Structure 1
Amino acid sequence: MATLFSKFVDEIDITRSLWLPASPMGLIHFEENQLMDMHVQDDGGQLWMFRCSIQKNGDAGCALSVDWLEFVRHKDVRIGDEVIFIQEIVKDQAMGARIKIQVKRKIRLFGQDIWGDVK
């Protein structure tokens, strides 16, 4: 397994769409404004489909806009949570790889910060 990308969620991510720099997602090759579907699996095994597009992001270049608001509501994703996309090699599938998504939330326990999985 290899981490493709991780990000701390901000307000735009949970109210509009998840914005990721296009370059770290090297396995995604498509043109600006072209739509594609990203199929991901959460820690519980549920499959999700996120509609994605490449958008201009001002001086920062291009960004991948990910429509994931149904996932956000279902998982109660919050500002400050960390979202992690992981590529997992699957030997018995024609695709050869699967993208998994994890969400982690910081909780304070006995004066220490602990990152726990959001289920």
Structure 2
Amino acid sequence: MILFSYTVVADFFEFQADHLFFMNATDSVGKEWIFVGKFHASDTVGNYVSISLPWFAVEKGLKANDEITFTEIPQGNRSWKNFKVVIKRKIRLFGQDIWGELMV
């Protein structure tokens, strides 16, 4: 599960506390995914969003500190939004930290 501030997705989704939303995404190898997100309201940390992706995490072999980026794919006036999802992992090569995109 990914947790982040609502401000990160405010341009894409209208906040509705305790409501679910769905995201269509295409990964780097062209596979289509549907992610389920939920809006949360908290007096302590403010409004935030969670995205559940257990099957994606298992299939992609996600590890702690992997970077997952969602980028909107323009669809004109359609209300359903589509995203590209990219996974990056930091590796150490010849003594240097390098971020590389996972192509799995």
Question: What count of residue pairs does the alignment treat as equivalent?
Answer: 101
Gaps of 5+ in 2: none
Gaps of 5+ in 1: 1-16
Alpha-carbon separation, structure 2, partners of 1:46 and 1:57: 34
Q: TM-score with structure 1 length normalisation?
A: 0.76
Query: Which residue identity does 1:38 align to in structure 2?
Result: M
Aligned-pair CA distance for 1:57: 4.3
Q: TM-score with structure 2 length normalisation?
A: 0.85
In structure 1, the partner of 2:78 is 95
Aligned-pair CA distance for 1:98: 2.8
Aligned-pair CA distance for 1:50: 0.8
Task: Calculate percent identity across the aligned residue pairs.
Answer: 28
In structure 1, the partner of 2:89 is 105
Query: Which residue identity does 2:102 align to in structure 1?
Result: V
- Aligned partners of 2:6 and 2:47 also within 8 Å: yes
Per-residue Cα deviation, 1:43-84 (whole angstroms, up to 9, x for no partner): 111111111110134522111110111111110111011111
Higher relative contact order (CA 8 A, sep 6+): 1
